[in-house]
């Protein structure tokens, strides 16, 4: 059964799928590509490794993994419009042999235990009803000794930067996204409050604790862009 946040995420990103890559770059002040590159630099995969991308969007992370490591990627998303764009981008890049696409939910993965060498989780946990259970399901399909990586937005810690962040996400972004499309208008009004709520419930320290409770070792955290994004990575125990 599709859950409440799943339904909202599907509706939200189906509406914003068109122009997603370019608009995301502009409204992140061209930091989105930098965050993605840093995330993938922590992966340390190899040719033939199987990597799960459980919130692929338009396949930006999946394509970067293949180009960097020549790995095999299974890319999952709940939005059919996002997946259409992802397949189109992958075909244009000539990398369709390296990336398989599925529509589905990260909370219920149709794969056996230990099917993947790693998973890259990007901008996912704010759109699921139970982040810990979702992470447990993703870890289930990673081999012992495999890597878990995550990227998401974050509320900056510095008071001055945090004040500017609130101004941008509560005033500038909702107004600016109205000029793009109705779908992006919804994203612009939703994003700032959603990030704030999630960070109050799941600050970085709490996420580290959850990862540790689920059996992830050697956990690292890197804040990027004055604290506006955070990358986490670690290793599943038992390897």
Helix (H) or strand (E) holding 52: strand 50-53
Residue 161 burial (CB < 10 Å; 0-12/13-18/19+)?
middle
CATH code where residue 126 lies: 3.40.50.150
CA–CA separation, 70 and 62 (whole Å): 10
Q: What is the band of 11 on the pLDDT scale with cuts at 50, 70, 90?
A: low
Digit-coded pLDDT (tens) for 120-173: 999 999 999 999 999 999 999 999 999 999 999 999 999 999 999 999 999 999
Bridge-based pairing state of the strands 72-77 and 50-53:
parallel
Give CA separation, 179 vs 132, 173, 199, in Å: 36, 10, 28
Helix (H) and strand (E) counts for the chain?
10, 7
**pLDDT, tens digit, 9 for 90 and up, residues 93-104:** 999 999 999 999
- Helix, strand and coil content of the chain, in percent to the nearest 5, comes to 50, 20, 30
Instruction: Give the mean model confidence (pLDDT) for residues 57-86.
Output: 95
User: Which pLDDT value is given to residue 97?
Assistant: 96
pLDDT at 58: 92
Residue with tokens 């219920």: 108
Q: Judge if pTM exceeds 0.75.
A: yes
Q: Give the whole-angstrom CA distance, residue 239 versus residue 236.
A: 7
* Confidence tier at 3 by pLDDT (50, 70, 90): very low
Q: How distant, in Å, are the alpha carbons of 20, 24, 29, 165 from that of 168?
A: 19, 14, 11, 5
pLDDT digits (tens, 9 = 90+) for 114-134: 999 999 999 999 999 999 999
Percent of the chain residues topping a pLDDT of 90: 77
Q: Into how many domains does the chain fold?
A: 1
* Residues of the domain holding 53: 4-236
Q: Per residue in 203-220, pLDDT tens?
A: 999 999 999 999 999 999
């Amino acid at each position: 059964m599709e859950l409440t946040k799943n339904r909202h995420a599907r509706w939200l990103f189906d509406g914003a799928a068109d122009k997603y890559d370019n608009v995301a770059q502009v409204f992140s002040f061209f930091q989105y590509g930098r965050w993605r590159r840093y995330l993938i630099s922590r992966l340390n995969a190899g040719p033939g490794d199987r990597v799960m991308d459980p919130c692929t969007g338009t396949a930006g992370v999946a394509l970067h993994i293949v180009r960097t490591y020549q790995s095999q990627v299974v890319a999952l998303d709940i939005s059919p419009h996002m997946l259409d764009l992802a397949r189109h981008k992958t075909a244009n890049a000539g990398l369709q042999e390296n990336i398989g696409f599925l529509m589905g939910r990260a909370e219920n993965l149709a794969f056996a235990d230990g099917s993947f060498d790693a998973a890259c989780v990007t901008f996912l946990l704010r759109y699921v009803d139970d982040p810990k259970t979702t992470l447990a399901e993703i870890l289930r399909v990673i081999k012992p000794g495999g890597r878990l990586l995550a990227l998401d937005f974050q509320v900056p810690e510095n008071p001055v930067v945090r004040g500017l962040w609130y101004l941008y996400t509560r005033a500038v972004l909702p107004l600016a996204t109205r000029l793009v499309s109705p779908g992006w208008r919804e994203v612009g009004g939703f994003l700032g409050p959603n990030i704030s709520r999630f960070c109050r419930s799941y600050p970085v320290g709490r996420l580290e604790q959850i990862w540790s409770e689920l059996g992830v070792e050697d956990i690292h955290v890197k804040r990027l862009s004055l604290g506006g994004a955070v990358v986490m990575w670690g290793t599943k125990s038992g390897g």
